[in-house]
Structure 1
Amino acid sequence: MCILFIYNGNEDVESDYRLIIATNRDEFYERPAQIMAPWEGQADVLAGKDVRGGGTWLALSAVTKKIGVLLNHPVAPTKTAVKSRGKIAIDYVKGGLSIREFVDSMREYFQECPGFIFVSLDFGNDYTKVHSYTKNTDNLEEHSEKYLGFGNSAPATPFKKVQAGRQRMQGVCQRLNKIHMKEQLVNELIELLRWEEKHLPDQVIEGQHPDNYKHLSSVYVHVPNIYGTRTHTLVLITKDGGMDVIEVTLRAPIDSQKPNWEKTKFRFKL
């Protein structure tokens, strides 16, 4: 489980920000991972690393001006689901292909992966282009809305927590839209990502996860000592070309009852 919220504010004349991203990575606590850092052999690409699989759930580059976020999409497994999804975000971000070209070049590979939704952001032009690719339906969709939310269901049928989080994100970004408010903006975005309210009833998540939907119905997921939200990532890009990347992740060994959070920051001038 993961969740992603996006504010695409390039045409919002009241805001100093052209793009804000807030996302959670949910994973089993015992699965080893490395914090965000320059990727192996790609100094201009930043990503955390899933040590067991060797890939990542989020990658970005201030050089190619791309961000890729991978979301799990549980669907009926296929016999050919043997390839890792972890390379998808890295390959998109470091390459020179548009998202449509990338999907076309990777379609055969995608069909051998477990279910996923891949969200791409290209901020190399005046307006950030946001697309989602859903492996289960082989559908690539462009999203032009100012506020977006994605989770572990098809984009057209979001979980209630995704809808609620998107609305809360909108309120935060409307109030704290000036650069001098950045500290409070970051704090409130982290609060959003640690929102423990359960958004039920929800037929979509209950149908998809009938046995444990209650644990998964909040933005911040916590199944004691087993599984939950392990990493928050924020990306703030201002209209004058400033880019802040902030990752807050649980330090291993993880004690979910007494979480020890570690913060990593990066700053770029686009």
Structure 2
Amino acid sequence: MCLAVLALHALPGIPVLIAANRDEFHERPTLPAAQWPDAPDIYAGRDGRAGGTWMGATAQGRYALVTNFREPGRFRDNAPSRGALVEDYLRSAETPAGYLARVHEADQAYNGFNLIVGDTRQAWYLSNRDGGPRALAPGVYALSNHLLDTPWPKLARTKAAFAAVLSRGPQPDLPALMAALADRVPADDADLPATGLPLDRERLLSSPFIVSPNYGTRSSSVLALRDGGAGQLDERRFAPDGSVNGESELTFSWRTADGGDRPR
């Protein structure tokens, strides 16, 4: 996952709304978003090489997502999978705060990451490049390959497009959110972040939707957890040329793990 905009406990009737692009090498095997056969409470895509996932939700109203932290020269081949951090949370019954506290104790073993975990009551954020876990107040957040709400041009543009969709009415237009994720316009060179990559690579990665033969946006996803127990995960998948090569539309019911009433 390389770009996500999240409305967390900020919309009437929708405690969780996330629109996100996953950028990855095209040769990396990936399973489409689905209900997992070995964990039927989980709804997510799956990494076919290391296992784990970049974003998912559960029938208990839990969700999580991870992005890599861009830091050329610091990548370690022997580090544990960052996608496992999402899977482990979705499989667990730990509170968001408790889970991130435990992850934080060993987070330097991983390559750089940003991790958001939550449920329909609370949300927490942890980066192993930015101190310890912190609770997220209700609001709209954006995340890419630096720290939460770092104002990279691609992030600022997608967050503004997300906010524009939300401003049109009480029920967000999910196709319009997908359209907001499809922006292929790169940032001006003068606005590019300096992350240590060559200029042509910074330019390629500066658009919200990335198209190149080897690496690019593999999927766009919209996740919504609504009051009353309705969940939805839509995923659109893309070929190296940016054309659509698959879609999943998952609907599911969620109920809090403690058996309490669903919010209404």
Q: Which interval holds the TM-score relative to the shorter structure?
A: 0.7 to 0.9
Q: Is the 8 A contact 1:150 1:158 kept in 2?
A: no
The aligned counterpart of 2:202 is 213
The structural deviation recorded for 1:83 is 1.4
CA-based RMSD of the aligned residues comes to 2.3
Structure 1 unpaired stretches of 5+: none
Whether 1:265 aligns to 2:249 is: yes
The alpha-carbon distance between structure 1 residues 95 and 260, as it changes in their structure 2 partners (threshold 3 A), is same
The structural deviation recorded for 1:149 is 0.6
Q: Is the 8 A contact 1:38 1:44 kept in 2?
A: yes
The alpha-carbon distance between structure 1 residues 269 and 53, as it changes in their structure 2 partners (threshold 3 A), is closer
Whether 1:164 aligns to 2:157 is: yes
Matches within 5 A, 1:43-82: 43-63=40-60, 65-75=61-71, 76-77=73-74, 82=79
Identical positions, percent: 21
C-alpha separation between the residues in 2 aligned to 1:39 and 1:202?
44
The alpha-carbon distance between structure 1 residues 202 and 138, as it changes in their structure 2 partners (threshold 3 A), is farther
Task: Count matched residues.
Answer: 252
The structural deviation recorded for 1:94 is 1.8
Q: Is the 8 A contact 1:7 1:173 kept in 2?
A: no
The structural deviation recorded for 1:153 is 0.7
Moved more, 54-63 or 227-236: 54-63
C-alpha separation between the residues in 2 aligned to 1:239 and 1:137?
33
Could you state the TM-score of these two structures normalised by the residue count of structure 2?
Answer: 0.86
Could you state the TM-score of these two structures normalised by the residue count of structure 1?
Answer: 0.84
C-alpha separation between the residues in 2 aligned to 1:93 and 1:202?
40
The aligned counterpart of 2:258 is none
Letter in 2 for 1:82: A
The structural deviation recorded for 1:16 is 4.6
Whether 1:131 aligns to 2:124 is: yes
The aligned counterpart of 1:84 is 81
Matches within 5 A, 1:174-253: 174-178=167-171, 185-201=173-189, 205-211=193-199, 212-223=201-212, 225-250=213-238
C-alpha separation between the residues in 1 aligned to 2:139 and 2:34?
29
Letter in 2 for 1:44: D
C-alpha separation between the residues in 2 aligned to 1:258 and 1:111?
35
Whether 1:19 aligns to 2:16 is: yes
